[in-house]
Amino acid sequence: MDVKRKRHIFNFFGAVVIIVWLVMMGLLVKKVSFNYDVDKVDIIAEKRSAITTVEREWMDIYLKGKKVGYSVNQVSPLEEDYLIQEEIFLKLNLMGQASSIYTVSRSLVDHAFLLKSFRFKMISGVVTYQISGRVKGNLMILEIGEGTARRKEIIKLSAPPLLGSGMARFFKGRKLEVDSSFRVPVFDPSTMAQKEAVFRVMAKESVVIKRMRHSAFRLETEMWGQPMTMWLDEKGAVLKEQGFMGFTLIKSSAANAPRDIEGGGGEDFYELAAINVKGKLKDADRLAYLKLKVDGLVEADFDTAILAKGRQTFGSGMIEIIREKMPSKAVYDLPYSDGSDSIKKFLRPGLSIESDDSAVMEKAREIAGKVKNPTAVARRLMAWVFRNVKKRPLITVPSALEVLKTKVGDCNEHAVLLTALLRAAGIPARLCVGVVYRGVDIHGRDPKPDAGGRHTHQAGSGRIGQADGNHRPDR
């Protein structure tokens, strides 16, 4: 599905890395929608009772009933502000491999928990992602990366935002009543975007946490067509959070949070994210046309308009796909010289696509050589990335420069590096998201089907997994 790729990643009540991976899997496209009537909801930004001592809260993180990590959130008073520090540790199973992810964030907020500045860092295997920012008026001034690779970006804000790590603290000490609502502007450092979440207090009920019964308010919101729920005690402290793809966060303690984490990371994320296909396609890589019946899109509040563009059509639950014909030679020689704004943006560097970095430019020149045919150069670049980047599943926010250094990653890492190399070579390119039906696993092996005729590997035949980014060398 060739749609413009946007990394809509939401800090699900502070546990940012969970949703980071889901989005990198390509499950989320186009936009995040909140379905409540926001015109009837007041924005809550008033100051509340001041915090005078250091407060610490621990949460266990579960996936499908198995403990896969924990988080700790600390708030320290600093004169007129608060310093919020949050650490999250996760161990997730990717294609049978236990992958550890660690994130740490530090943010300075006012007494209404509105953001002033932050630093965010994610470590996943050999890859590190860093971003910092500060609010100046209605602008968010960001710096991404470190050292010579650091980039600056300025984003306009519609309202002073909260950070995901401050979300739980936002409700603590506020008056909660059934049928009341909160509209909360949230800035997500992993997507560098601001969103507006609406929480509605649905009921007051009892909830059992660690064998103890608590009186709690149940708050709900909706994102990506999925319900998100949190239970708060009468003082507004978070007891439990439940959301996307079976993740649950439960109040814990300093002694218990790091204990009993599932060694293998629990459920395989590729398996959870795969789309089941009934039947099996024969010689799928040779098909020129495909027609599929798709169920569940309406219930998931999926924007089906994106499925009826280019070489795809969608209607009455049926999607038809025509295989793209690749030209042997494009209509231009390198570098592409069209000065229109519609194409320029696909030649410029971008966040995580450092096509103007000297290392990226040098590698693109080395691979392209003296060839001026963009189709031939695109094939050379794609082949080099495929051969030289070790195919290993990662949970991170990919950066082309980082991938060029580490030469490790899954389809996201392959896609950002290829896009950066294409742009550096003068070929308009963009990242896209979609699904792919594949007959080999990511290690290049031909997986053996199980007794039911489906391949045991998520990315094999009988499953639809994520697709790499693509390019347009024929423009």
- Tell me the per-residue pLDDT of 341-389, one tens digit each, with 9 for 90 and over: 788 889 999 878 899 999 999 999 999 999 999 999 999 999 999 999 9
Distance separating alpha carbons of residues 422 and 430, to the nearest angstrom: 9
The secondary element (H helix, E strand) that includes residue 20 is helix 16-24
Going by the DSSP 8-state scheme, the letter that residue 181 receives in this structure is E
Distance separating alpha carbons of residues 117 and 163, to the nearest angstrom: 10
DSSP string, 308-357: SSTTEEEETTEEEEEPPPPPSS-SS-SSP----HHHHTTTS-BTTB-TTS
Model confidence at 2, pLDDT cuts 50, 70, 90, reads: very low
Mean per-residue pLDDT over the chain, rounded: 75
Beta bridge partners of 98: 93
- Average pLDDT in the 149-173 region? 76
**Residue in the structure block whose two tokens are 């008073």:** 77
Lowest mean pLDDT among 112-121, 197-206, 432-441: 432-441
Contact 239, 231 (CB under 8 A): yes
Residue 304, C-beta contacts closer than 8 angstroms, at least 6 positions apart: 297, 298, 314
Model confidence at 162, pLDDT cuts 50, 70, 90, reads: confident
Please check the confidence at residue 426 and state whether its pLDDT lies above 90. yes
What residue spans define the domains of the chain? 3-269, 274-288+323-466, 292-322
Distance separating alpha carbons of residues 159 and 161, to the nearest angstrom: 6
**Looking at residue 454, what is its pLDDT?**
30
Going by the DSSP 8-state scheme, the letter that residue 448 receives in this structure is P
**Looking at residue 151, what is its pLDDT?**
79
Please check the confidence at residue 8 and state whether its pLDDT lies above 60. no
Can you read off the two tokens belonging to residue 265? 């990371």
**Looking at residue 185, what is its pLDDT?**
77
**Looking at residue 223, what is its pLDDT?**
60
Contact 63, 246 (CB under 8 A): yes
- Average pLDDT in the 123-131 region? 78
Please check the confidence at residue 464 and state whether its pLDDT lies above 60. no
- The residue with greater pLDDT, 4 or 151, is 151
Please check the confidence at residue 33 and state whether its pLDDT lies above 50. no
- Average pLDDT in the 411-428 region? 93
CA neighbor of 261 nearest in space, from 421, 67, 78, 109: 67
- Average pLDDT in the 189-210 region? 81
- The residue with greater pLDDT, 224 or 54, is 54
- Average pLDDT in the 271-288 region? 78
pLDDT over 90, % of the chain: 27
Contact 352, 190 (CB under 8 A): no
Q: What is the CA radius of gyration of the chain?
A: 23
Max mean pLDDT range (91-105, 159-173, 177-191, 243-257): 243-257
**Looking at residue 449, what is its pLDDT?**
34
pTM, to two decimals: 0.70
Lowest mean pLDDT among 167-181, 263-277, 367-381: 263-277
How buried is residue 251: exposed, middle or buried, by Cβ count under 10 Å (0-12/13-18/19+)? buried
Distance separating alpha carbons of residues 374 and 363, to the nearest angstrom: 16
Distance separating alpha carbons of residues 261 and 308, to the nearest angstrom: 44
Q: What is the CATH number of domain 274-288+323-466?
A: 3.10.620
Torsion sign over Cα 346, 352, 353, 357: positive
How buried is residue 291: exposed, middle or buried, by Cβ count under 10 Å (0-12/13-18/19+)? exposed
Helices 374-388 and 411-424 pack at an angle, to 10 degrees, of 140
- Average pLDDT in the 127-140 region? 85
Q: What phi, psi does 20 have (nearest 5°)?
A: -50, -50
Instruction: Give the chain's length.
Output: 475
Give the end-to-end CA distance of the chain in Å, rounded to a whole number. 19
Model confidence at 49, pLDDT cuts 50, 70, 90, reads: low
- Average pLDDT in the 128-151 region? 81
Please check the confidence at residue 191 and state whether its pLDDT lies above 70. no
Please check the confidence at residue 401 and state whether its pLDDT lies above 60. yes
How buried is residue 306: exposed, middle or buried, by Cβ count under 10 Å (0-12/13-18/19+)? middle
Distance separating alpha carbons of residues 10 and 203, to the nearest angstrom: 25
Distance separating alpha carbons of residues 235 and 174, to the nearest angstrom: 7
